[in-house]
Structure 1
Amino acid sequence: MPVEPPLPDPADALAPLAAHETLLLAVSGGPDSIALMLLAASWPLAAQKRIEIATVDHGLRAEAAREAAQVGDWARARGFVHHILRWQGKKPTTRIQERAREARYRLLCACAREIGASAIVTAHHADDQAETVLFRLTRGSGTAGLAAMAAESRIEEQPLLRPLLRFSKAELENVCAVAGQDFVSDPSNENPAYARVRLRRLAATLAAEGLDSKALLRLSARAARAEEALAWSAERAALELPAERATKRFHVAAAALRALPRELLLRLLAAEIARIGGGEPRLERLERAGEGLAAALAAERRFKTTLGGAIVTLEGDAVAIAPEPPRRRAEIT
C-alpha cells in the first residue's frame, strides 16, 4: 500500500508568521492554499492573531465567481473573514498568466493595506519552487533567478511570506484529505498553452535523467547561497568604492572599476542605473552594457550607452552615470 505523506505540524509550518499580528492569506481554492487555510485554523497562535482570507477572481473563467464564493463559505466555516478581490476592466490577450499574476498581487497588496495586515501569506510549496527553478533555467536566469522564491520577500513594500516552501504538494493535499475538505481544480493548470504546464509534463523525462524535484531544489538552495554572497560582496565593494554619488549623478575613476570582478561591475551598474535613471534593465541588456564598458576600460577607450533611463559614459579616466535627457526618452518611447 502507498505510504501517506506526513502531515505538517501547524506550529512548525507557520512559525515564520509568529512575528505578525494581522495576516492576509491568499487562498485561491486549490489544495495547497486550502491546506494553508486549514493549517492556520489549527495554528496554536491563531487565537492571538487577526487572520483574514482573500480570494482573487480574475474574471478569466465563467466558474471563477462561483469558486471564489465557495472559498468564502469554507473560510467562514473555519472562522475567518473572507474577501473576494475582482480584477476589473478589459483583460489582456497576451502574456495572460504574467499579467494576471501582477493583478493578483496588486489586489492583495491593496486589501492588505485596507485591513492593516502586516504581511501577505501565500501557499507556494516545494513543487512550485522546483518548477520555478526549471522555468528560469530554460530562460537562462542568473543566480538570483535560480534561487527562485524566498521564504520572505517584499512586494509594494509589503512583506510577502511563503511558509510552505519546505512541504510538497502531496503533503498539502493530504492535509485536505485528512480534514475531509474539498478544494477547487483550475483547468488552466492542465492547459498546454502555458509554458509551466508544458514543463510539468516533462517532469518524468527530466527525473529519469536526474533532474527531479530534489535536484532542482538543491540547485535553488546553492544558487541562493551564491546570490547571498554576491549581493554581500557587491554591497561591500560599492561602499568601499571611492566614488562621487549625488542625487542624480555617479562619478568614479576608471581605474577603480577596472579592478572589479565582472559580476560586481554589473551589479554596481545595475544599482546606480536604477538609482539615477529609475529603471531596472533586463539582465541581457545589462550584460551587454557591462561587457562593452569592461572592454572599453581594458582598452582605455571611450564608451557611451543608455540603459534604464540613464547614460553611462567612459571618457578620459572617469566613468559617469547621469539621467537620460527627457527629449531622448520621448523619442525612444
Structure 2
Amino acid sequence: MNNILGANSISRLAVAVSGGADSIALLYLIAEWAKARKVDITIFTVNHNLRPESKLEINYVEKLAGRFKFKFVPLSWNSGDKITAIQERARKARYDLMSENCKKLGISLLLTAHHFDDMLETYLIRKSKKSSLLAHFPNITYFWNNVWIVRPLFNIEKKELIEYLYKNNITWFEDQSNQADKYERNRIRKKLATLAKAEKANLLANYNLSSEKAKLLNQSLIQSLAEVVSIYEYGFAKINIVKFNGLGDEIKIHIINYVLTVISGKTLIPRYRNVINIISLLSSKRFVTSTLNHCKLIVKNEEIIIYKEKVFVENSCDGKQAYQYIQPGPLTKHDYRFQPPYYVYYWDNRFEIVLNKPGYIISNLKMEEYITLIPQLNLENLAKDSDNNHKSILFTLPVIKNLEKVVAIPHISYYDGGVLSGAIKVIFKPNFISRFTHFF
C-alpha cells in the first residue's frame, strides 16, 4: 500500500468485500495497515441477487465491519430477466455502485482484492483474444467513474492468502459459482491448476516478459500523450500531427482511442478499422474533416482539433446534494471546498458542476439563446484556443439556466446580473475508465 500510494496522503478509503477468501484476507490486512495510520475505512458489499447464500455472506461481512468499527454500506443489484453476459454486467454494476457511493461519501480511493492468480488469468484471457500488448500490463491501479481503484494484493498468490486465513483462524465463504465451467475465467483457473511444474514456470516467464514489454510501452504512451496531446478545459483536444506521425502504430492507436473516449464522454472506444483509417490518412496527408465516436475531427495548422458534436450532447444531469467537505489534496486535486450544503452535478459524462445554490437547470446553449446573447458574450479566449472553432464548441458546453433564461456560461465567464458569479465551479472531468495513463 505504501509503495502504491507514494506521496499521496489519505484519511479515508473504501474496501470491496464479498465474503470470499481474497476479500476477507484484504479486510484483515488493511485493518492492520489502517490502524497505525488512523485511516477511516468504509466496507462495501454488493448483493447481485444471483445466489441465495449471498445474504449470509453479507451478514458475515457486516459483523466483521462492526468488529473493526468500520462503516458498512450494503449495496444491491438486480440483473432483471436478461441472463446474457451476466458476469460482465454484474462486474460493471458492482463498480458503478461502489464508485457512486464513494463519491457520495467523499471517498477517493477504493481497494479490491485482485491477487496474482487473478492477474495471470486475465493475461491468458486477453492473450487468447489477441489483445494489444498494452493490455498485458498488470492493471494494479486505474480509475473508474473518477474513483481511484487500487489492487494492493496484485503480487500475492491465492495460496498465500489462504495460508494467512488458516493461520489466523479466519472464516470465509466459498462461491460455488466459481466452479461453473460456463464461465471462461473458471475454465482457465481450472486449467492453471493442472499445469505441470515446468509448464507453470514457462507460463510465468512469458507473463513476466510480456508485462515488462507492456510496462515500457505504457511509459512510452504516457510520454507521447504529454508531448502530442493537449486537452483544454472547454472539453476539446488537439493532437500535433507532425509529432503524432513520428510515433509507432500501437501508440498511435491508443492515443486516438484515449482522446476520442475523453472528449466524447463515452466508455466504448471506436472501431479498430476506423482508427487505422484515421492514422493512414494522417500519415499520407489526405485527412479531411470527419466524425468518429460522436466527435468532430478537423485538421488545422498541423493539428487535429477534436470536439464533441453538439447533436450528441446529453442533457441528462445527475445532481446530488453534497453533505461533506471534500478536502483538497494529492488524491483530490480537482475537488474544492464549499460550505455545505452545496450541489454537485455531473453533466453529459464530461463536466462536473458544483453550485452552492439549488434550483437551477443545467443544459447546453440553444441557437435562439445564442442569438439573443451574442452582444454580451466574450468568446475571445475560446476562439484563440480552438483556432476559431469556438461557436461549435460553445454549443457543447454546460450552461446554467433558471426557468426563464440562461443565467451563466461559466467557461466564458458570462453571469447574468452577477447572480452566480463566485457561486459555481465547473471542471472538465470525463467519466471514463482509463487504461492508458493510470498505472503503477
The verdict on a shared fold, with TM-score over 0.5 as the criterion, is: yes
TM-score (norm 1): 0.77
**Superposition deviation, residue 68 in structure 1:** 1.0
Give the conservation status (yes or no) of the 8 Å contact 2:298–2:304. Answer: yes
Give the letter aligned to residue 196 of structure 1.
R
Give the conservation status (yes or no) of the 8 Å contact 2:294–2:309. Answer: yes
- Aligned partners of 1:246, 1:185: CA distance in 2, in Å? 47
2:148 to 156, 159, 163: 159
SS in 1 for 2:229: helix
Is 1:100 the counterpart of 2:82? The answer is no
Match of 2:278 in 1: 293
Match of 1:170 in 2: 159
Relative to structure 1, the CA distance from residue 107 to residue 320 in structure 2 (aligned partners, 3 Å threshold; closer, same or farther) is: closer
Relative to structure 1, the CA distance from residue 273 to residue 49 in structure 2 (aligned partners, 3 Å threshold; closer, same or farther) is: closer
Give the letter aligned to residue 45 of structure 2.
T
**Superposition deviation, residue 158 in structure 1:** 1.4
- Aligned partners of 2:3, 2:232: CA distance in 1, in Å? 41
Relative to structure 1, the CA distance from residue 233 to residue 51 in structure 2 (aligned partners, 3 Å threshold; closer, same or farther) is: same
Is 1:308 the counterpart of 2:308? The answer is no
**Superposition deviation, residue 261 in structure 1:** 3.5
SS in 2 for 1:140: coil
Relative to structure 1, the CA distance from residue 215 to residue 173 in structure 2 (aligned partners, 3 Å threshold; closer, same or farther) is: farther
Match of 1:75 in 2: 65
Give 1:234-253 correspondences, 5 Å limit: 234-238=225-229
2:211 to 208, 212, 220: 220
- Aligned partners of 2:233, 2:72: CA distance in 1, in Å? 47
Relative to structure 1, the CA distance from residue 44 to residue 120 in structure 2 (aligned partners, 3 Å threshold; closer, same or farther) is: closer
Give the conservation status (yes or no) of the 8 Å contact 2:21–2:172. Answer: yes
Give the letter aligned to residue 137 of structure 1.
K
- Aligned partners of 1:177, 1:257: CA distance in 2, in Å? 54
Match of 2:110 in 1: 120
**Superposition deviation, residue 148 in structure 1:** 3.0
Match of 2:35 in 1: 45
Give the letter aligned to residue 186 of structure 2.
V
- Aligned partners of 1:235, 1:76: CA distance in 2, in Å? 46
Match of 1:331 in 2: none
CA-atom RMSD in angstroms: 3.5
Match of 2:222 in 1: 231
Relative to structure 1, the CA distance from residue 326 to residue 167 in structure 2 (aligned partners, 3 Å threshold; closer, same or farther) is: same
Cα distance per residue 1:119-154 (max 9 Å; x no partner) = 21111111111111111111222233111312x322
Structure whose residues are more often helix by fraction: 1
**Superposition deviation, residue 275 in structure 1:** 4.6
**Superposition deviation, residue 41 in structure 1:** 3.1
- Aligned partners of 2:45, 2:254: CA distance in 1, in Å? 37
- Aligned partners of 2:148, 2:137: CA distance in 1, in Å? 18
Give the letter aligned to residue 141 of structure 1.
S
SS in 2 for 1:202: helix
Give the letter aligned to residue 249 of structure 2.
R
Give the conservation status (yes or no) of the 8 Å contact 1:54–1:82. Answer: yes
Give the conservation status (yes or no) of the 8 Å contact 1:129–1:217. Answer: no
**Superposition deviation, residue 56 in structure 1:** 1.0
Relative to structure 1, the CA distance from residue 111 to residue 256 in structure 2 (aligned partners, 3 Å threshold; closer, same or farther) is: closer
Relative to structure 1, the CA distance from residue 226 to residue 107 in structure 2 (aligned partners, 3 Å threshold; closer, same or farther) is: same
Is 1:109 the counterpart of 2:95? The answer is no
Relative to structure 1, the CA distance from residue 207 to residue 217 in structure 2 (aligned partners, 3 Å threshold; closer, same or farther) is: farther
Identity of aligned residues (%): 28
Q: Which runs of 5+ in 1 are unaligned?
A: 1-12, 328-333
